[in-house]
Amino acid sequence: MNLADALSHHVRARPDRPAIIQGDRQILYRDLDGIVRRGAAHLDALGIGEGEVVGIALRDSIDHLLALYMAARRGAIALPLDWRWTEAEKRAVAERFHAKLILIEPDATPLPGIACVPVDMDFQIGVAAAREDMAFPSRLEAPLLLSLSSGTTGRPKGPIVTHGQFLRRFWTHWIDLGLNARETYVSATPMYFGGGRTFSMSLLFSGGTVVLFPPPYEARDLAAEVAKRKASSAFLVPTLLRRLLDLSDAEAAPLRAMRLLLSSGAPLHPEERREIRTRLCPNFCEYYASTEGGGVSLLRPEDMDVHDDSVGRPVFGVEVAIFDDDFKPLPAGAVGRLGYRGPGVASGFHEDPEATREVFHDGWFFPGDLASVNDAGYVFLKGRKKDMIIRGGINIYPVEVEAALQSDSAVVEAAVVGWPSRDMGEEVAAFVVLRAPAEPEALRKLCAARLAPYKVPKAVFVVDEMPKNAAGKIVKAALAERLPKS
């Protein structure tokens, strides 16, 4: 089994259905399999053999999505490279994972010493002229993708995810999210980001339609695209959802008609979830996942009515447990290191045994989150282990303080970090982005009314925007650097 095998079925089963749409360009399923097969043969002609690494440094486009399936069809390993990265960042990742070739934009500068092929007219001519009947490998255990995390600092790390592991992630999309051949799905996040890439590939495997509408865009334009395409589902990160909340009810109307509005990438706070369900889409779900392991848990609308501070219960085939620092299981309700395992989880980092030992243990993957699980199986995130604040020997979980701050309608985003203190070890510091005027002292009093005294921020700093990585996650280390020295 090769993930690209499914495309030949769609030629016969749904030839006239659009597979991919972007603006005025579209590809029908009757043509998709042939394009992918010829593209794989062209990669072979460029010197890419089975099991070799192909870098993909393309914009969020049809060509990017095609390249992912071309590499899969060839039996090569796709290495996503964010086209926005600097030359040094691209080089560090490409050299670390021994990329034999990198597909780049026609206007991009090639990396000296590394074979770079522009996806331009010459590339398209080469694909069109390639043979379509070349024999390709089909093994579920074959490597498919180097699923890197969004950061590029330090030594790049990334597990190789196999065709079989990706297929089991697709199972979750079918069973828990209902994504299938009848879907018209709007891909509105960067293709480099794990969710944007995986959901788009999943929809093509299933025979649905992928509408590419990548950022940057205005919130009202995204809503208009949903209406234009009669889209039934979309995946967004919290940053984009918050922008949609600024729409008028009339502008947001197309979103309310969708079967599924999905969020992942960072947890939302209870007040935000309620507002999204009320104003944007009643069929809103939050999907907790990681790049290395795929989906972990799903919070459905009915779950939000019971535990609005949870990230839901485990998805199909995934087992979740909480452990102490010695990897011993903890009882229900205890806070500790979240671990999970399942058939879609990678088995370790590629060529990095030291990093593998840190987060993979006896078949469990530890993404670095602190959490608890109650008797009913609901997962409650407490924040990243590295972000936990220890004040006077007491553990403080930033997510609790952030939720208190975001209960104020003036607060768009909140991030809480530890502030080094000579007396207490650490104090609590908060950063907020505002949509309306609010005094920092008033926000501290709001926290005091909702939290124990030791959790109240020592100071609240108002910023114009949060520093974020390519996945839209707040970079707390950058915020901590802004704190006044005590």
Q: Single out the residue of 454, 409, 458, 452 nearest to residue 431, CA to CA.
A: 458
Q: Do domains 5-187 and 216-384 have the same CATH topology?
A: yes
The four Cα atoms 377, 379, 380, 382 give a dihedral, to 10 degrees, of 130
pLDDT at residue 152, as a whole number: 40
What parts of the chain have a pLDDT lower than 70?
A: 149-155, 470-471, 486
Across 404-484, the runs of DSSP E, i.e. the strands, are 411-421, 425-434, 459-462
Asked whether the beta carbons of 146 and 77 are under 8 A apart, the reply is yes
Burial of 250 per CB tally in 10 Å (0-12, 13-18, 19+):
exposed
Q: Give the span between the Cα atoms of 380 and 123, in whole angstroms.
A: 48
Non-local (6+) Cβ contacts of 281 within 8 A are 255, 256, 258, 261
Angle of CA points 383, 274, 184, to nearest 5°? 95
Q: What is the CATH number of domain 5-187?
A: 3.40.50.12780
Could you tell me where the beta strands, DSSP code E, fall in 23-73? 25-28, 53-57
Amino acid identity of residue 305, one-letter, is D
Indicate the pairing of strand 209-212 with strand 18-22.
parallel
pLDDT of residue 194: 86
SS3 410: coil
Q: Which residues make beta-bridge pairs with 299?
A: 286
- pLDDT number for residue 74: 97
Compute the distance between CA of residue 386 and CA of residue 429 in angstroms, rounded to an integer.
Answer: 15
- Residue 183 in contact with residue 206, Cβ under 8 Å? yes
Tokens of 117: 């092929």
Q: Integer distance in angstroms from the first to the last C-alpha of the chain? A: 59
Q: Where are the domains of the chain?
A: 5-187, 216-384, 388-480
| pTM score of the predicted model | 0.87
Rounded to 5 degrees, what angle do the CA atoms 12, 16, 19 make? 90
Q: Which sign, positive or negative, has the C-alpha torsion 148, 319, 284, 268?
A: negative
Residue 407 phi, psi dihedral angles, 5° rounding? -70, -15
- Whole-angstrom Cα distance, residue 429 to residue 461? 8
Fold that domain 216-384 belongs to in CATH: Rossmann fold (3.40.50)
Residue type for position 12: R
Cα-Cα-Cα-Cα torsion 348, 352, 357, 363, nearest 10 degrees, comes to 10
Q: Does domain 388-480 have CATH number 3.60.15.10?
A: no
Distances (CA, A) of 310 to 17, 286, 289, 302, 314: 38, 10, 14, 12, 11
Rounded CA gap, 251 and 219, in Å?
A: 9
- What confidence score (pLDDT) does residue 472 get? 74
Helix (H) or strand (E) holding 476: helix 476-480
Please state, as a whole number, how many other Cβ atoms lie within 10 Å of the Cβ of residue 395. 12
Confidence at residue 486, expressed as pLDDT on a 0 to 100 scale? 60
Q: Is the dihedral of CA 396, 397, 401, 404 positive or negative?
A: negative
Q: What is the pLDDT of residue 157?
A: 81
CA 79 vs CA 7, 158, 173, 329: distances in Å: 22, 10, 23, 35
Q: Dihedral sign, CA of 44, 49, 51, 54?
A: negative
d(CA 338, CA 354): 20
Report the C-alpha gap between 213 and 18 in whole angstroms.
Answer: 15
| CA separation, residue 21 to residues 209, 337, 362, 400 (Å) | 8, 42, 43, 41
